[in-house]
Amino acid sequence: MRRPARGRTRDPKIDRLSQVQLFSACSKRDLSRIAALTEEVEVPAGRVLMRQGHLGREAFVIADGRAKVTIRGKRSARLGPGECFGEMALLHSAPRSATVTAESDMRLFVLGSREFTALIDRVPAVGRKVLEALAERLREAERAQPHH
């Protein structure tokens, strides 16, 4: 019987979640809890996954496939496996800041804000780890902005 490589589990969902910056500080136990709350969905190419200005109630992790991000109709980024989008909805119910559309057939892990809030209530350390990752993403975005 082969053993999984060091740092990897037998669960591909947990392995994929461990690659997501948002969950990078989480332990395998934390990741297992998060994985148990996610729903795996498949979507066809062309499907709008979230629309700018619409209220968000979930975050998405790309397991397979590619998506494009547009802001005010202009392409902003491309996303692929291991990337997460819509994560602000896990912490705050507000209109989406971008539209994300599947460029190919995709397999996604969807995490609802209600489920995530319940997890943070039970395991506050997960919330702290996710907030730290969000703060780091914000710092990176600020550094990338041109200075005037």
- Per the domain annotation, does 60 fall within a domain? yes
Report the CATH number at residue 31: 2.60.120.10
Task: Write down the pTM of the prediction.
Answer: 0.85
- The gap from C-alpha 14 to its chain's centroid, in whole angstroms, comes to 13
- Per the domain annotation, does 148 fall within a domain? no
Q: How many domains does one find in the chain?
A: 1
- Per the domain annotation, does 68 fall within a domain? yes
Tens digit of each residue's pLDDT (9 = 90 or more) over 11-58: 889 999 999 988 989 999 999 999 999 999 999 999 999 999 999 999
pLDDT at 6 > cutoff 50: no
- Per the domain annotation, does 147 fall within a domain? no
pLDDT at 93: 83
Query: Could you list the residue range(s) of the whole structural domain that residue 101 is in?
Result: 12-138
- Per the domain annotation, does 143 fall within a domain? no
- Per the domain annotation, does 46 fall within a domain? yes
Ramachandran region of residue 50, left (φ > 0), alpha (ψ -120 to 50) or beta?
Answer: beta
- Per the domain annotation, does 145 fall within a domain? no
